[in-house]
Chain A
């Protein structure tokens, strides 16, 4: 089937099987940050943005993205690096496997929620599983990161 979509701002016209999974397709286009951590829509590792909303690329069929914009971590390099530095400073990560889906959702949260409480942060991110850590370092990193971004805005 013919499909036209934008991946990280780049227009792609392609011919695909009707049941092509979005996740595997994005990987085939070089977006290796998009990974599969489960078969049941539970882990959040495959998170990408469709029209700027975080969704599960393991779940929605690729065809649903026809005529639409997908953003992956590859399209948010500098922002991801900025937040990644906070994660590193807090020693939040262990194996790092959960990282890409987690960062995609943190950056979505930053756009969607204004000054979230700890409970709101936890609730927003509860669909991102990490098998190594206890999420405590991540939470510290997020709070410091949000504070610093807000500070930046305040100085503008």
Chain B
């Protein structure tokens, strides 16, 4: 249950940041995660009156406000056309429609949860977070940082040409994922992100060029290259056990999801 002594609608980001510097303060997004805690907060700061509930699309980028909900990105045509439907695929298994209407992109990315589908899918694109104090930094860098009192204002996805896909594995529908996987062929290389290992998602590039020229290869060569890549990329990460799955099981699933996800992109051409 959320417990706080004060609930403040910030009138500006300046004000929100000043208030949030207190140890006893918290920003509230959709409150999905916050409400699970037992802490008594001094003040809870609401950003919902700052116009951060919009997705703006230009020729260069999508700018996604912190208060945009997961349901908003699930339904956004431009974002899903650009990501080949990967955004929708990444969030549609999260709890239910009402939940996704409730929780936010800001809370999901700032939270940097180990299990996060949302962090995984955005990280494989050329994406950035815009922080009030820390400025604009690549999402894959932000994901490595410790929590601080900064405010996530926007998530920015650069519209560089890419082909991508997303997949996750769950023991049961709507449960937290056992493993998350995203892959993108970008102009600057082939990239994968594996998350829910169960630690935070990490971005890696096909440094051995296993997938190089994959779109112009014969069927047999494609299968061989993808099998080799799936084995290689899944071995680049560490895995741990928790109550959902063992480390070995996760490593195995990672290889399977890598193979299937990359194959799905290449099959589409």
- With A59-B35, A60-B31 given, is the CB distance from A19 to B101 under 8 Å? no
Asked if A128 is an interface residue, CB under 8 A from chain B, the answer is yes
How far is A109 from B97 in the complex, measured between Cα atoms in Å?
A: 9
Among the listed stretches A50-58, A73-81, A137-145, which one makes contact with chain B, having 4 or more residues with CB under 8 Å of it? A50-58
Q: Are the CB atoms of A127 and B174 closer together than 8 Å?
A: yes
Asked if A147 is an interface residue, CB under 8 A from chain B, the answer is no
- With A41-B95, A44-B96, A61-B2 given, is the CB distance from A18 to B101 under 8 Å? no
Contact with B28, one of A1, A55, A61 (Cβ below 8 angstroms)? A61
Asked if B5 is an interface residue, CB under 8 A from chain A, the answer is yes
Nearest Cβ on chain B to A149's Cβ, whole angstroms: 19
Q: Are the CB atoms of B5 and A18 closer together than 8 Å?
A: yes
Q: Are the CB atoms of A44 and B46 closer together than 8 Å?
A: no
B:219-245 near A, CB below 8 Å = none
A:2-55 near B, CB below 8 Å = 18-19, 21, 40-42, 44, 47, 53-55
Q: Are the CB atoms of B2 and A21 closer together than 8 Å?
A: yes
For the complex, count residues of A whose C-beta is within 8 A of B. 29
Asked if B12 is an interface residue, CB under 8 A from chain A, the answer is no
Nearest Cβ on chain A to B87's Cβ, whole angstroms: 15
Q: Is the interface of B mostly helix, strand, loop or mixed?
A: mixed
Chain A residues, CB < 8 A from B32: 41, 59
Q: Are the CB atoms of B98 and A61 closer together than 8 Å?
A: no
Q: Are the CB atoms of A54 and B4 closer together than 8 Å?
A: no
Whose C-beta in chain B lies nearest to the C-beta of A40? Answer: B36
How far is A127 from B32 in the complex, measured between Cα atoms in Å?
A: 14
Q: Are the CB atoms of A126 and B174 closer together than 8 Å?
A: yes
How far is A77 from B54 in the complex, measured between Cα atoms in Å?
A: 33
- With A60-B31, A64-B48 given, is the CB distance from A54 to B7 under 8 Å? no
How far is A63 from B28 in the complex, measured between Cα atoms in Å?
A: 11
Whose C-beta in chain B lies nearest to the C-beta of A18? Answer: B7
What per-residue 1/0 map shows which CB atoms of A113-147 lie under 8 Å from chain B?
Answer: 00000000001111110000000000000000000
Asked if B44 is an interface residue, CB under 8 A from chain A, the answer is yes
Q: Are the CB atoms of B44 and A60 closer together than 8 Å?
A: no
- With A42-B95, A55-B98 given, is the CB distance from A60 to B4 under 8 Å? no
- Which A residues are within 8 Å of any B CB, using their own CB? 1, 18-19, 21, 40-42, 44, 47, 53-56, 58-61, 63-64, 66, 105, 108-109, 123-128
What would be 14 A-B contacts, judged by CB atoms less than 8 Å apart? A19-B3, A41-B99, A42-B95, A54-B101, A56-B99, A56-B102, A58-B35, A59-B31, A60-B102, A61-B31, A63-B46, A64-B46, A123-B92, A128-B96
- Which B residues are within 8 Å of any A CB, using their own CB? 1-7, 9, 28, 30-32, 35-36, 44, 46, 48, 71, 92, 95-99, 101-103, 173-174
